[in-house]
C-alpha cells in the first residue's frame, strides 16, 4: 500500500527555510512537517507558531535521532550542508538540501559517498529547473523542436546586490549566484560543459571588490556536443529581476521572457509601456519552489528517482570553481582541471 504522507523534519528557519516550511505546511499535500530546528530557537519558534508546526528545537541532531522522522529538509548555512547530509544519511533519512552541498569538492564527494553507502535519496534545491518557462525551453531542445542546439544565452541579473556582510561569506558570485545558471545550462542543453572562460569585473559596488568578489560577469561555455553558451550576470539591474533564456538550434530557436506582475500594456501617443518585471527571486520563482518540494516528497513516497541529484550539484560546483580560476588566471579552464584531470 502506498504511503500517503511523508514525516519531515526541517533544519533551518532563515529566509529560504521559512519559505519551504510554509510550502510544506500548506502547498505540499503529502508532506507532514513535524519539527523545525534552528540554532536560533526563537526564530524556529516564531516560524512554527505562525505556521502551526508542532515542535521546535535548537539542535538538528534531535531531528536526526527521531525514529518517526523519515526525511529532512536542510536549509541551514552552506558551511553545514555536507556535515548534515552525511549525518542524515547515516541516520537513514531521505534528504532535500539547498544548494550548494559545500564550496570544497572533497567535502562534496565525502557527502555523496555517505548518501550512496546509506542508500538514501538526496535532492538538491536547484528550483529553477521547475520553472514552467525553462522547462518548456528544455523540452524544445530535448524533443528536437529547434533541431540541434548551437547557441545558449542565459541572462541572470539581480535587481540589487546583497548586503556586503553576505558577500563576504557567500563564496562569491559564481558560487552563490551563477551556480543556478551553471545548473540551468546543463539542464537546458542536456549536455555536459567541458570548458569555461570568464570575463568579469566590479562595476556596481567597490565594496564588493574590496571583499574579494565580482559583481558583473560574462562566462562562455563549451559543451561536449560542440554547442557554445554564454551566461550574462549582474548584481544590479535597476529595472527588476532579469531572468531570460534563448537557445538557437538548427531548425529554430526558443526564448523565454521575464515574469511580470500583470500582462497589461499601456499605449499612448508618446510611448507604449508596461510595469517592470517582478523584483525578487521569491516572487519570480514562487511556483518552482513548491514544485520542487512536491517532487521530492513524491519521489520518496513513490520510490522514484529524485529530479535533481547530488551529482548535478557537484557538476555545478565544478563549473563555479572553473569560472573563478578562469578569471584569476585570465584563460579558458577545462572542467577536468578542477576534477583531478589534466
Q: What is the pLDDT along the chain (342 residues), one digit of tens a residue?
A: 467 999 999 999 999 999 999 999 999 999 999 999 999 999 999 999 999 999 999 999 999 999 999 999 999 999 999 999 999 999 999 999 999 999 999 999 999 999 999 999 999 999 999 999 999 999 999 999 999 999 999 999 999 999 999 999 899 999 999 999 999 999 999 999 999 999 999 999 999 999 999 999 999 999 999 999 999 999 999 999 999 999 999 999 999 999 999 999 999 999 999 999 998 887 888 999 999 999 999 999 999 999 999 999 999 999 999 999 999 999 999 999 998 744
Alpha helices (H) along 196-306: 206-210, 281-284, 286-301
Q: Do 83 and 113 sit in the same domain of this protein?
A: yes
- Tell me the sheet residues that pair with 230: 153, 220
In a domain? residue 14? yes
Are 116 and 159 members of one domain? no
Q: Where residue 182 sits, what CATH number does that domain have?
A: 3.30.360.10
Cis peptide before 100 (omega within 30 of 0): yes
Please indicate, yes or no, whether residues 194 and 162 belong to a single structural domain of this protein.
Answer: yes
3-state secondary structure of 38: coil
Q: Please indicate, yes or no, if residue 307 is contained in any of the structural domains.
A: no
Residue with cell 548584481: 235
207 and 103 together in one domain: no
The residue from 69, 93, 120 where one domain ends is 120
Cα torsion angle, 42, 46, 47, 52, sign? positive
In-domain check, residue 292: no
Q: Is residue 106 part of a domain?
A: yes
The domain that contains 67 carries what CATH number?
Answer: 3.40.50.720
Q: Which residue has the cell 549525518?
A: 87
The whole domain housing 187 covers: 131-284+316-338
Residues 6+ apart with CB under 8 A from 327: 198, 199, 200, 214, 217
The DSSP symbol for 341 reads -
- Whether 268 and 193 map to the same domain: the answer is yes
- What nine digits make up the cell of 122? 538526496
Residues 243 and 163 in one domain: yes
SS3 161: coil
Instruction: Name the residue among 304, 287, 281, 285 with its Cα closest to residue 123.
Output: 304
Asked whether residue 302 is domain-assigned, the answer is no
Q: Which domain-ending residue is among 74, 101, 120?
A: 120
Give the pLDDT of residue 282.
78
Per DSSP, 126 falls in state -
Residues 275 and 149 in one domain: yes
Domain count, the chain: 2
Residue 216 lies in a domain: yes
Question: Do 137 and 261 belong together in one domain?
Answer: yes
Domain for residue 309, yes or no? no
With H, G, I as helix, E, B as strand and everything else as coil, classify residue 339: coil
**Residue that is last in its domain, among 120, 154, 184:** 120
177 and 95: one domain? no
Instruction: Determine, yes or no, domain membership for 303.
Output: no
| pTM of this prediction exceeds 0.85 | yes
Question: What residue has cell string 535548537?
Answer: 58
Residue with cell 526558443: 254
Residues 180, 46 share a domain: no
Kindly state the helix (H) or strand (E) to which residue 243 belongs, with its residue range.
strand 242-249
Same domain, 235 and 201: yes
Helices (H), 285-329: 286-301, 310-329
Question: Does 254 lie in the same domain as 229?
Answer: yes
Amino acid at each position: 500500500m502506498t504511503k500517503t504522507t511523508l514525516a519531515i523534519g526541517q533544519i533551518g528557519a532563515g529566509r529560504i527555510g521559512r519559505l519551504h516550511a510554509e510550502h510544506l505546511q500548506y502547498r505540499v499535500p503529502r508532506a507532514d512537517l513535524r519539527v523545525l530546528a534552528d540554532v536560533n530557537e526563537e526564530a524556529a519558534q516564531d516560524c512554527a507558531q505562525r505556521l502551526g508546526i508542532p515542535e521546535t528545537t535548537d539542535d538538528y541532531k534531535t531531528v536526526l535521532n527521531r525514529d518517526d522522522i523519515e526525511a529532512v529538509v536542510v536549509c541551514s548555512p552552506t558551511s553545514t550542508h555536507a556535515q548534515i547530509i552525511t549525518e542524515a544519511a547515516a541516520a537513514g533519512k531521505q534528504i532535500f538540501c539547498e544548494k550548494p552541498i559545500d564550496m570544497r569538492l572533497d567535502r562534496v564527494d565525502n557527502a555523496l559517498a555517505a548518501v550512496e553507502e546509506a542508500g538514501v535519496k538526496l535532492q538538491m534545491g536547484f528550483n529553477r529547473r521547475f520553472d514552467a518557462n525553462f522547462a518548456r525551453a528544455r523540452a524544445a531542445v530535448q524533443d528536437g523542436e529547434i533541431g540541434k542546439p548551437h547557441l545558449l544565452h542565459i541572462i541572470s541579473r539581480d535587481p540589487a546586490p546583497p548586503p556586503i556582510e553576505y558577500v563576504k561569506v557567500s563564496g562569491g558570485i559564481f558560487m552563490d549566484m551563477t551556480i543556478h545558471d551553471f545548473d540551468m545550462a546543463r539542464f537546458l542543453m542536456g549536455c555536459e560543459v567541458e570548458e569555461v572562460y570568464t570575463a568579469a569585473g566590479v562595476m556596481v559596488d567597490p565594496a564588493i571588490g574590496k571583499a574579494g568578489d565580482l559583481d558583473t560577469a560574462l562566462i562562455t561555455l563549451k559543451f561536449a556536443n560542440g554547442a557554445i553558451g554564454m551566461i550574462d550576470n549582474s548584481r544590479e539591474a535597476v529595472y527588476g529581476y532579469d531572468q531570460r533564456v534563448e537557445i538557437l538550434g538548427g531548425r529554430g530557436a526558443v526564448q523565454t521572457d521575464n515574469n511580470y506582475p500583470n500582462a497589461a500594456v499601456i499605449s499612448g501617443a508618446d510611448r507604449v509601456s508596461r510595469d517592470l518585471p517582478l523584483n525578487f527571486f521569491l516572487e519570480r520563482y514562487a511556483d518552482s519552489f513548491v514544485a520542487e518540494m512536491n517532487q521530492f516528497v513524491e519521489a520518496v513516497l513513490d520510490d522514484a528517482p529524485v529530479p535533481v541529484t547530488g551529482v548535478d550539484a557537484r557538476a555545478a560546483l565544478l563549473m563555479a570553481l572553473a569560472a573563478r580560476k578562469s578569471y584569476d588566471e585570465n584563460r579558458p579552464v577545462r572542467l577536468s582541471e578542477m576534477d583531478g584531470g589534466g
